[in-house]
């Protein structure tokens, strides 16, 4: 059954097209965040009151209260994206005879504009809106249409690909803003509503139940730089619902019957790309933390436990000789990490965090993902059949406890992936044959910065910004040193030519 799911499930991002490009992030320490949050999770009596309509919420089967209160806070987002399209190179013999009218000319890249559609949720009266990263990433223009039909230009404040969240801002005041609820209090089978703009329609409300919690579906792995062994792992602990959601619902609201935001709709599992009964939303507990970090610090402050985890099942538990069959097996401990400093050891099995039983890697990452460097959490491990509690103070990616500024993160994350190409070091034999001391070959060019130049696959980079290049690591070092607004000057050659070529790459 599980293998059939993996074969049939095509994980589709909900934007009608994956909109993606440069974005503007506010500087460090810009503002404190004041959310409109719900009261503490209701008691059993309070939950019954909510379901019977005695607290203002709708009666069982009546979703009108939540729908009417939430709809004005959910907006339509339209984006404009400019992509580079490389035309097919026409052989000279045909172009010389027929001219550039034959097949489109020189094969130089050309720019094409496209549009995409998604949703967003107003989280503050002064115009801050949370949506999905894939709705606004790489967008040249972002337009927000309110329920009163006003259309306003929006500025992208910050994005976080590892949770697929983003914050945009419109210049408006006294807007209706949503109340943030408690995703931890959600129960399996509880009614929820999905509100958004599917298929470019007007505001639409659908109903369903919470089908599962803490789902990791692997959809955000595409955001990982696979050439970087230190790349962060995406945080996936989705709320699964059978409320009907479709392309365009991305960034829209998932709410309970009290009209409180419990998640941001992000993805569907479908063989067709359209609703098939499975939708996924980022839990609001994670939304609050990521949004607050973006607004206050300019980037997400991530705490790290400092372990190499393996999710246990009966087979893995037997292989590892673990005393329990569920939990997170500590395969190794990272030097200078939080876990090592707290006393955790290789072979421990994490069974609880903050008193909450841990069954999956996704669940563990979501709990840690809500916290910042310097925050302390209680970790319960099974060591040799005995449970022990450890107080672990999370650290940043550098092993410290302090906040990492946006400027530091920007420099660290300026990866070769941004160039839109695959690279490889050339061998010593190839370098000798070409008469050079070393270089980096462009293996494949995608839709990125290199596609905006005339660089072709096979080009060998020997210098970047005036410095000799012998490895991808050296090229990465130079990329890290490029400041905002600067470019990259690449000098190199093609294997069948002794001539040197110069390419200016906008970075």
Q: Compare 7 and 321 and report the one with higher pLDDT.
A: 321
pLDDT band at 109 (very low <50, low <70, confident <90, very high): low
Beta bridge partners of 207: 193
Q: How far from each other are the two terminal CA atoms of the chain, in whole angstroms?
A: 46
For residues 320 and 288, give the distance between their C-alpha atoms in angstroms, rounded to a whole number. 37
Read off the pLDDT band of 219 (50, 70, 90): low
Please, is 342 exposed, middle or buried when counting C-beta atoms within 10 Å of its C-beta (0-12, 13-18, 19+)?
middle
Q: Is residue 15 over pLDDT 50?
A: no
Tell me if 164 is assigned to a ligand binding site: yes
Which candidate in 15, 38, 124, 134 is catalytic? 134
- Spatial distance between the Cα atoms of 180 and 288, rounded to a whole number of angstroms: 8
Mean pLDDT computed over 360-383: 93
Task: Let me know how many helices (H) and strands (E) the chain has, helices first.
Answer: 12, 26
Band of residue 413 on the pLDDT scale cut at 50, 70, 90: very low
- Mean pLDDT across the stretch 111-137? 91
**Whole-number Å distance between alpha carbons of 361 and 205:** 32
CATH value of 1-299 in 1.10.3720.10, 3.10.20.740, 2.40.110.10, 2.40.10.120:
2.40.10.120
Task: Name the average pLDDT for the chain.
Answer: 81
250 known ligand binder = yes
pLDDT at 141 over 90: yes
Tell me the CA distances in angstroms from 484 to 133, 404, 407, one per residue in order: 21, 18, 10
| Predicted confidence (pLDDT) at residue 429 exceeds the cutoff of 90 | no
pLDDT at 89: 47
Q: Looking at the predicted structure, is the pLDDT value of residue 332 above 80?
A: yes
Integer Cα distance of 116 and 454 in angstroms: 28
Does residue 361 carry a catalytic annotation? no
d(Cα 229, Cα 472) in Å, to the nearest integer?
Answer: 14
Q: Decide if 106 is catalytic.
A: no
pLDDT over 90 (residue 226):
no
The dihedral formed by the CA atoms of 278, 281, 285 and 291, expressed in degrees to the nearest 10: 170
Average pLDDT over residues 267-286: 87
460, 494 in Cβ contact below 8 A? yes
Residue with tokens 């309970």: 256
118-127, 351-360, 452-461, range with the lowest pLDDT: 452-461
Catalytic one of 138, 160, 164, 361: 164
How far is 420 from 479, CA to CA, in rounded Å? Answer: 13
Place of tokens 């599980």: 2
Scan for tokens 């200078």, then name that residue: 336
Return the CATH fold of 307-393: Pdz3 Domain (2.30.42)
259: left (phi over 0), alpha (psi -120 to 50) or beta: left
What's the pLDDT tens digit per position in 174-212?
Answer: 999 999 999 999 999 999 999 999 988 889 999 999 999
CATH architecture of the domain with residue range 414-506:
Roll (2.30)
Residue 458 has pLDDT above 50, yes or no: yes
Residues paired with residue 163 on neighbouring β-strands, in sequence order: none
SS3 for 212? Answer: strand
Longest Cα–Cα distance in the chain: 84
Segment 51-100, tens digit of pLDDT: 434 444 545 567 999 999 999 999 999 999 876 554 444 444 434 443 44
Distance from the Cα of residue 257 to its chain's centroid? 28
Percent of the chain with pLDDT over 70: 77
Q: State yes or no: pLDDT of 12 exceeds 70.
A: no
Q: For residue range 481-493, list pLDDT tens digits in order.
A: 877 667 788 999 9
Q: Highest mean pLDDT: which of 16-30, 92-106, 147-161, 214-228? A: 147-161
What are the boundaries of each domain within the chain? 1-299, 307-393, 414-506
CA atoms within 13 A on the CB side of 404: 21
Catalytic residue among 16, 117, 203, 250: 250
Taking 60 as the threshold, does the pLDDT of residue 238 lie above it?
A: yes
Q: For residues 8 and 6, what is the distance between their CA atoms, to the nearest angstrom?
A: 6
Residue 164 a catalytic site member: yes
> pLDDT-derived band of residue 231, with 50, 70 and 90 as boundaries?
low
Q: What is the DSSP string of 447-482?
A: SSTGGGSS--TT-EEEEETTEE--SHHHHHHHHHHP
Q: Is 249 annotated as a binding residue?
A: yes
What was the pLDDT predicted at 294?
Answer: 93
Q: Indicate whether 347 pLDDT > 70.
A: yes
Within this chain, domains 307-393 and 414-506 share the same CATH topology: yes
In angstroms, the CA 61 to CA 257 distance is 10
pLDDT > 60? residue 223: no
* Confidence at residue 449, expressed as pLDDT on a 0 to 100 scale: 78
Q: How much helix, strand and coil, in percent to the nearest 5, is found in the chain?
A: 20, 35, 45
Q: Is 248 annotated as a binding residue?
A: yes
Residue 409's pLDDT is what? 54
Read off the pLDDT of each residue in 409-428 and give the average, rounded to a whole number: 71
Residue the block writes with tokens 């940043």: 396
Q: How confident is the model at residue 399 (pLDDT cuts 50, 70, 90)?
A: confident
8-22 in b/e burial notation, b at 16+ Cβ within 10 A?
A: ebebbbbbbbbbbbe
């Amino acid at each position: 059954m599980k293998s059939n799911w993996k074969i049939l499930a095509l994980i589709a991002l909900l934007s009608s097209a994956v909109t993606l490009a440069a974005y503007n992030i506010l500087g460090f320490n810009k503002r404190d965040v004041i959310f409109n949050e719900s009261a503490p999770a209701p008691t059993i009596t309070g939950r019954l009151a909510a379901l019977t309509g005695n607290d203002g919420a709708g009666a069982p089967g009546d979703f009108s209260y939540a729908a009417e209160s939430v709809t004005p806070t959910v907006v339509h987002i339209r984006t404009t994206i400019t992509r580079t399209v490389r035309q097919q190179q026409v052989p000279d013999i045909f172009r010389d005879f027929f001219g550039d009218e034959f097949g489109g000319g020189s094969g130089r890249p050309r720019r094409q504009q496209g549009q995409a559609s998604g949703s967003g949720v107003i989280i503050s009266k002064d115009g801050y809106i949370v949506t999905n990263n894939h709705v606004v990433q790489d967008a040249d223009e972002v337009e927000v249409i309110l329920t009163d039909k006003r259309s306003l230009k929006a500025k992208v404040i910050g994005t976080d690909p590892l949770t697929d969240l983003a914050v945009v801002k419109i210049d408006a005041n006294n807007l209706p803003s949503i109340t943030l609820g408690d995703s931890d209090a959600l129960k399996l089978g509880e009614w929820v509503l999905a509100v958004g703009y599917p298929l470019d329609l007007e505001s639409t409300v659908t109903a369903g139940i919470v089908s599962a919690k803490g789902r990791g579906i692997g959809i955000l792995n595409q955001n990982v730089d696979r050439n970087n062994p230190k790349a962060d792992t995406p945080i996936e602990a989705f709320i699964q619902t059978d409320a009907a959601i479709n392309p365009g619902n991305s960034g829209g609201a998932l709410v309970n019957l009290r009209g409180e935001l419990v998640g941001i709709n992000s993805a569907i599992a479908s063989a067709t790309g359209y609703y098939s009964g499975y939708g996924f939303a980022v839990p609001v507990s994670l939304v609050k933390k990521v949004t607050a970090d973006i607004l206050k610090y300019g980037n997400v402050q991530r705490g790290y436990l400092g372990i190499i985890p393996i999710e246990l099942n009966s087979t893995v538990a037997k292989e590892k000789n673990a005393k329990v069959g569920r939990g997170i097996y500590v395969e190794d401990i990272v030097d200078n990490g939080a876990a090592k400093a707290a006393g955790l050891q290789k072979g421990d099995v994490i069974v609880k965090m903050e008193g909450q039983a841990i069954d999956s890697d996704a669940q563990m990452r979501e709990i840690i993902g809500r916290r910042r460097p310097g925050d302390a959490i209680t970790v319960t491990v099974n060591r040799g059949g005995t449970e022990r509690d450890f107080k672990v103070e999370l650290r940043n990616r550098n092993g410290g406890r302090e906040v990492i500024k946006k400027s530091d993160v920007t420099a660290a994350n300026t990866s070769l992936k941004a160039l839109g190409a695959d690279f490889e070091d050339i061998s010593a034999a190839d370098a000798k044959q070409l008469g050079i001391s070393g270089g980096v070959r462009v293996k494949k060019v995608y839709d990125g910065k290199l596609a905006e130049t005339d660089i072709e696959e096979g080009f060998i980079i020997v210098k970047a910004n005036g410095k000799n290049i012998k490895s991808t690591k050296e090229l990465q070092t130079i990329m890290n040193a490029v400041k905002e607004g600067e470019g990259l000057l690449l000098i190199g050659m093609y294997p069948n030519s002794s001539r040197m070529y110069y390419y200016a790459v906008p970075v």
